[in-house]
Amino acid sequence: MSGLNVFIVSYDIMDPKRLQKVHKTMKGFGEPIHYSVFLCNLTPKGRVEMKAALFGLIKQDQDRVMIIDLGNVDGKVMDRVEFLGVNPQESERKAIVI
């Protein structure tokens, strides 16, 4: 066991300035896969740190953050995630032919 779990984190932030701060903060914890959706590989401590950072940025009565635990990083996590259309991993692997 690696001690890492994979999380999908999605958020709706009502204020553009807070949205920008949340997005910048989330870049420190994972990779964006959609607008306002991140894929994060976190230890239990990392999850607590992420939640604390987000809690300090959002307004509880206006904003919403959803954290989905996909389980242990075991090489099969992405088998549990399905995309229709362009897969973020595919869009990053664009070949250039010269």
Q: What is the pLDDT of residues 35-70, one digit of tens each?
A: 899 999 999 999 999 999 999 999 999 999 999 999
Q: Flag whether 98 is in a domain.
A: no
Q: What is the CATH number of the domain that holds 28?
A: 3.30.70.240
DSSP category for residue 74: S
Q: Flag whether 97 is in a domain.
A: no
Residues 6+ apart with CB under 8 A from 63: 11, 12, 13, 14, 15, 18, 22
Q: Flag whether 26 is in a domain.
A: yes
Q: Flag whether 52 is in a domain.
A: yes
Q: Flag whether 19 is in a domain.
A: yes
pLDDT value at position 78?
Answer: 73
**Per the structure, how many domains does the chain have?**
1
Weakest-pLDDT range from 52-61, 78-87, 88-97: 88-97
| Owning domain of residue 56 | 5-92
